[in-house]
Structure formats: C-alpha cells, structure tokens
Amino acid sequence: MIHRWWSRWWSRWKAHSIASRGAEWPSPWGDVFGEKTDPLRPTRYVIIGNGVAGFEAARKIRESDRQAEVIMISRESELHWSRPALMYLYMGELTLEEATPYPKRWFAEKRLILLQREVGRVDRAERQLYFTDSSRLSYDLLLVALGSEPRTLDIPGEELDGVMGLYDLQDLAHLEEISDRIGRAVIIGGGLVAVEWAEMLVHRGVSVEILMKDPLFAAHLFPQEEAQMITDYLIQTGISIQGNVEVQEVTVDQRANAELKLALHLREREALLVDLVGVAIGVKPAVHRVEGLEELSRDGLRVDERLQSADPHVFAAGDCAELITGTAHLKRGRVSGTWYEARQMGRVAGLSMVRYAHKQNPAGAMDGFTLDEIYNPIASEWFNSAKFLDIEHQLYGEVPSSVEPNTDLLSLYWSDLANRQSIRITYKEGKVVGLCTLGIRLRQSQCERIIRERYSVDQILESLDLLRFDEEFDDTLLRAKESLKSQFQADYP
C-alpha cells in the first residue's frame, strides 16, 4: 500500500515539476542527461506526440514495463483527444472534454507523465530533447509520433488570412475566430477532409463549393462507379462541385462598398470571390518540424517492421513513419494515413521498444517476435472506415481506384443508386483480396478473416448476407448476392 501511494505521489510530483519549471526534474536514479549511472534506474521512454499512435504506444509500454518512466509530449494539448471528432467540436455536437476519452487522473494512475511543450531539436548523440523554450529532457528510448500536417498549395497568396488547412486544435480555434465573417467558402480537395470541411461550414449556414483536380469526387480513392455515386450525392445535398480545376493564385479583393474578399484565381475560369479558402489536398509527415532527425528521414522517419529506425534508440509510428520493408532501403517506403493503422503501429512500437530496452531481442534479430510484434501491413488486413455525409464507407484489403491492364486483379460490383448503396469484391485467381462498401456496414471480424484466410469467391457469395452488421432484417445483401453470382459465373462459366 505504501509503495503504491509513493509511486502515485512521485509521478504526480514529477509531472507538476516539469510543467511548472520547464527543466529536468531531479531523479533518484542519478544523472538523467547522459549514460545511465545506475543500472537499477528504470528505462525512460519519451514519446513526442499524443495522438492515437503515441497514446497506444504509451499504454503498451506501461502494460509491458511497470517500472518504466513514460513521458508523453505534445505541443497541441496536454491530454490525448480523438482527432476524428474535430468536425463535431466545430458543429457543437461534442465538447473537447467529451472528445477526450481518458481524463487526467487516468494518466496519473498509469504513471504516464504528460508534458505540453514543443520539441525543437533532438540531439541523438547525447539522447537529449531540446524544447523551443530552451529547456531539455533526456531519454533512453524515443518514439516519434508527430503525426502529419496539411499539404500546401504552393501558390502565391497561400499565406493570406482566410487560406488555411484544418488539422489540429489551433486550426479549429482560428476557424472559430473568423467564422462570423464567412458567408461563402471554397474547399480545395477531393477527399474525406474536404467533405468534413463542407459539412462543418454548411452546418453554420455557409455557402460551400468544392474544387478538385479530378473529374469526379474521391476519384483517387474509389473506382469510377463509387466515385460517381459520391459525387452525385454531394451535388444533391446542395454542395457545388467543380472538377478538372487548377488553382493558380489567391489575392485580396476589395471593391467599392464591399467587404474584404479573397479572390481565388483559376486556370481558364473566372476568379471566385470568397471569404474562406479551405485547403484539403492531403497530408504529409510532420517529422520535419523537429531538427536532428534529418539523417533518419526521407518522406517520413524511416523504420523497419519493428518500427525502429537506423538509430536503435529512435522509433516512429503513425502518420510520420515511413515503413521500409525487405531490402528496399534506398527506395521510398510506405507512409500510412489512417487512424486504424496508426493505432496498430503505436501498439507494435511500444512493445518493440520494451523488448529492445530489456535486451530480449538484440537489434537486427527478429527471432521471438510474433505477428503482433512485427508491423506488416500486408499480413495485417487493411481496414478503413469513413462517412461521406450520410454515406458510410468500409474498405477491407486491396481495392484500388484503378487497375492496370493485364493484371490478375478482377472485381464484382453491385449498386443500388436509389438508396446509395454498393458493394465491390476484388479477387485474384478466384480468391477474395478486398471488399469495398458504400451505405452498407459489414461485420469487421468476419471480413478481416475472409481477407486473411483468402476465402474463395464462391464461399463469400454463398454467405454474403451473413456479413450484414445490422441485426434487423435487410435484404440488401440478398439482392446483391444474386447479381454478383451472375457476374462471377460469367467470368468463370
């Protein structure tokens, strides 16, 4: 009992000390700036970023190493919060407290130390972090989970007030500041974030137009049939959409007896006068925000299947990590961009860090690791879900937006345009490799098993209606089943 009380008191005192003084706190285990002077001192794990990857890593570390020091650092907020809830904060449907799944006392009970600061530089030789306020912190093992940041348009005028991306709480606060003067907005982009922008602003009574370079909305995410369905639906809801648009410049326009406007100049089209230009053209790893990681980074911070970098004391997970597999160390790796994958990467990174710290698996050896401890997005069944206004979307496995000629990837497709529903099954050599739905929710565990165990197309078609998530009777999949069977029989008579 005394030991438990002391542990909680010590953790809270350290958290208070570093937050109030901004410097290294005294440690009973000796010098915290250099090499370990006391072999009994617990390992200090430092995590930069408190998004889902950083949070899951911290939780996994604490589960696996109960004596460790675990410190989470974030410039954005002290507590981990659910980033997918950003739009609902703006729409007033959630408060920040409601979007924060774990209160401060939970972190104290788990002895996870929270620090709201911005890291400016990493000294990997000395294993030191330097904050922008000149304070510093040593680490034994470092997890970089900085997430991503919005891509920019790279056009003149992008720095003007009213031209912005929407990614974090600071962006949200700025949008709130200028919302009263927004009557008309243009969103540039053709993906999920553009839809979220539009839904948020329409909720506030703003006239919204989406501009994109592709002819159909989400054409880079979906095959043509699904992209057409989503495009038609957005137009039906009153959102104006223009495809094949090239944005050239943003300027300030102030005419007689008129309020200040932004003029958005387009190639071979008339300029648009708007109050807000929302940029939603994707994200990029935010690893370059911190100095000292350049040698480890290309597009993101380059890591192997254990999410460990070339510096064995530095790991990365989430949107800022660039996964390098096999012998492709001179090639571009794979950068993730989904919440579900970041969550899994955080769990694997946390366990990998503990294993490395405890010397149970030397650097470079993979013996003793199970699939859960090696991050393999190919072996792991790819999954993502989203909502395009009221259309729910699920994706399992491999469903590309386009298929190169002469490949062995084939697909079956069924749709009900009136009810905005569709399902696509992709397969190779008669084995299912992917599922994509709009307006239909499937059972995740069952779908992942189908992809993992490579069910035959015949198998899934026979039991397609059993994949339905909703308990109440719905004949959607029964109707789809007959059509898909006919298509498959035509391909394999």
Task: Give the CATH number, domain containing residue 405.
Answer: 3.30.390.30
220 and 172 housed in the same domain: yes
Give the pLDDT of residue 374: 61
Give the pLDDT of residue 315: 97
Residue that terminates a domain, selected from 281, 296, 311: 281
In a domain, 316, yes or no: yes
Residue that terminates a domain, selected from 281, 300, 332: 281
User: The domain containing residue 224 runs over which residues?
Assistant: 163-281
144 and 277 housed in the same domain: no
Strands 141-144 and 314-316: parallel
* Distance of alpha carbon 105 from alpha carbon 259, whole angstroms: 48
* Distance of alpha carbon 368 from alpha carbon 356, whole angstroms: 12
Q: What is the mean pLDDT of residues 212-223?
A: 94
In a domain, 156, yes or no: no
Question: Please, which pLDDT band fits residue 340 given cuts at 50, 70 and 90?
Answer: confident
Give the pLDDT of residue 2: 35
In a domain, 435, yes or no: yes
Q: What is the mean pLDDT of residues 210-215?
A: 96
Give the pLDDT of residue 17: 39
Give the pLDDT of residue 111: 95
Of 323-337, 449-463, 478-492, the one with minimum mean pLDDT is 323-337
410 and 450 housed in the same domain: yes
Give the pLDDT of residue 388: 92
Give the contacts of 231 (CB within 8 A, at least 6 positions apart): 216, 217, 218, 241
* Distance of alpha carbon 431 from alpha carbon 458, whole angstroms: 9
Give the pLDDT of residue 468: 83
pLDDT at 332 over 60: no
367 and 414 housed in the same domain: no
Q: What is the mean pLDDT of residues 207-222?
A: 94
Mean pLDDT of the chain: 84
pLDDT at 365 over 70: no
**pLDDT tens track for 152-172:** 999 999 999 999 999 899 999
358 and 471 housed in the same domain: no
In a domain, 437, yes or no: yes
| Alpha carbon of residue 209 to chain centroid | 25
Among 221, 212, 209, 210, which Cα is nearest to 244's?
A: 212
Of 164-178, 226-240, 370-384, the one with minimum mean pLDDT is 370-384
Q: What is the mean pLDDT of residues 312-331?
A: 79
Give the pLDDT of residue 42: 85
**Integer CA distances (angstroms), 417 to 200, 226, 233, 269, 392, in order:** 26, 10, 10, 32, 14
pLDDT at 31 over 80: no
Residue that terminates a domain, selected from 373, 393, 425: 373
* Distance of alpha carbon 253 from alpha carbon 305, whole angstroms: 51
Question: Please, which pLDDT band fits residue 35 given cuts at 50, 70 and 90?
Answer: very low
In a domain, 454, yes or no: yes
Q: What is the mean pLDDT of residues 371-376?
A: 57
24 and 85 housed in the same domain: yes
Q: What is the mean pLDDT of residues 395-403?
A: 89
Of 147-151, 356-360, 474-478, the one with minimum mean pLDDT is 356-360
Task: Give the CATH number, domain containing residue 44.
Answer: 3.50.50.60
Please tell me whether residue 214 adopts helix, strand or coil conformation: coil
Do the beta carbons of residue 186 and residue 272 sit within 8 Å? Answer: yes
| Dihedral (CA of 7, 11, 12, 17) sign | positive
Please tell me whether residue 64 adopts helix, strand or coil conformation: helix
Question: Please, which pLDDT band fits residue 234 given cuts at 50, 70 and 90?
Answer: very high
DSSP code of residue 310: S
Give the pLDDT of residue 21: 36
Question: Please, which pLDDT band fits residue 88 given cuts at 50, 70 and 90?
Answer: very high
443 and 456 housed in the same domain: yes
Residue with tokens 């189908």: 450
Do the beta carbons of residue 292 and residue 151 sit within 8 Å? Answer: no
pLDDT at 358 over 70: yes
Give the pLDDT of residue 473: 60
**pLDDT tens track for 431-478:** 999 999 999 999 988 998 898 889 999 999 988 888 888 756 678 888
322 and 388 housed in the same domain: no
In a domain, 474, yes or no: yes
